[in-house]
Amino acid sequence: MSRFNQAVLAIFASSLVACGGNMVEFGDASGNPDGGGTLSTPTVTPTALASGVCTDKTLTVTFSEAMDSSTINATSFKVGAGAAGTPVSGTVAYDATKKAATFTPSPGFAANTAFTATVTRSVKSQAGAALAADLVWSFATSLCQCQTPVALGSASGFAVLAGSTVTSTNATTITGNLGVSPGTAVTGFPPGILNGSQFTGVGSAAGTAASSVTTAFNDAAARTCVITVAGNLGGTTLAPGLYKSTSTLAISSGDLTLDAQGDANAVFIFQMASSLTTTSGRQVILAGGAKSTNVFWQVGSSATLGSGSVMKGTVLAQASITLASGANLDGRALTQTGQVTMDANSVSMPAP
């Protein structure tokens, strides 16, 4: 656990004491003394104890019943900063279609700070139901963990794009376009199956996309405010953010979990000066609403995905990408100068 996270947890604990010890207290089945029944458990975003929340994040509380919008306001939905609970300015709104109350900070949350959000028992459903107790939860912000997606430009439509050659053996399946530029050589289709179009050469769509790959690679490499990592990421769970290794990265001795903590727009970017390697059978697991379309691997040399491994996200490699037998990629394999080599793999462009 990092020093920042330890400090955040300490602030959380202080905040809970200040709030009477209530941590995400949802309604129970005991009934409500005010009449109208008790609201069932709402869901909150970001989730309780989430860290690395972006400073411009909108808080959302989603109810199971249609709510009385007149009861949802700056008095009943409020946010405090730190153990002292210093009030945070923001706009409270209710979306009747989604049955969701939102708090949008103005101008934004402070970075690297713990916050406690409260929805009071004064909120009511249209039927008069209320919470059994105040809903209270805490989260922490981190500027370094708030990233925008890497813009892929015209390369976004390619599942596989190589600088020199694309080679496949056995029954590889690609969903998305396949391209090579400035090279022109593509082998292995058939028996490989391409659910998309093939483009080769500088003057083709692959040539334009190759230029976009270089731009995207440079964008990912130039991002700053990093969280330093090194060696093996296997067996860990990471929050959204920008992670940097000055050498290699590997996923071995365990799977890597990327936890978006309830934010479907959360972005994960990994910078490494040298190679990326996943060992046999290892997986990248997406949790908490994480999407492969928002995961990016900027590889300073070459990437190797081990036999039967499962990778998520767009791999942007300076040199080559090799997918060993049976490896699957939910994302894109994009190289600048080298080849993409496959063997009975599945490569599918990520869903938006």
Same domain membership, residue 175 and residue 320: yes
**H-state helical runs in the chain:** 3-18, 205-222
Cβ distance 141 to 124 under 8 Å? no
Cut 0.85: pTM above it? no
Same domain membership, residue 276 and residue 173: yes
Same domain membership, residue 176 and residue 70: no
Reported as a pLDDT band with limits 50, 70 and 90, residue 53 is confident
Last residue of a domain, one of 84, 114, 144: 144
Last residue of a domain, one of 94, 124, 144: 144
Same domain membership, residue 173 and residue 131: no
Domain range enclosing 51: 3-144
Going by their DSSP bridges, the two strands 77-81 and 86-87 should be labelled as antiparallel
Which pLDDT score is estimated for 30?
39
Last residue of a domain, one of 144, 179, 208: 144
Q: How many structural domains are present in the chain?
A: 2
Same domain membership, residue 222 and residue 135: no
Same domain membership, residue 171 and residue 128: no
- In order of 162, 177, 195, 328, 340, the CA distances from 169 in angstroms are 16, 18, 17, 14, 12
Q: What is the dihedral of CA 188, 190, 191, 197, to 10 degrees?
A: 90
Same domain membership, residue 306 and residue 168: yes
Each residue of 119-159: pLDDT tens digit? 999 999 999 999 999 999 999 987 766 789 999 999 999 99
Whether 33 shows a pLDDT value over 70: the answer reads no
Same domain membership, residue 44 and residue 125: yes
Which pLDDT score is estimated for 22?
37
Whether 203 shows a pLDDT value over 90: the answer reads yes
Same domain membership, residue 160 and residue 137: no
| 328-333 contact pairs (CB < 8 A, 24+) | 329/305, 330/292, 331/292, 331/293, 331/295, 332/152, 332/155, 332/158, 332/159, 332/160, 332/161, 332/176, 333/159, 333/160, 333/161, 333/162, 333/303
Going by their DSSP bridges, the two strands 340-343 and 165-169 should be labelled as parallel
Same domain membership, residue 180 and residue 265: yes
Same domain membership, residue 287 and residue 195: yes
Same domain membership, residue 168 and residue 126: no
Give the dihedral sign, CA 291/40/101/98: positive
Each residue of 93-127: pLDDT tens digit? 999 999 999 999 999 999 889 999 999 999 999 99
- What is the length of the chain? 352
Q: What is the CATH number of the domain that holds 80?
A: 2.60.40.1220
Q: How many angstroms separate the CA atoms of 271 and 214, rounded?
A: 15
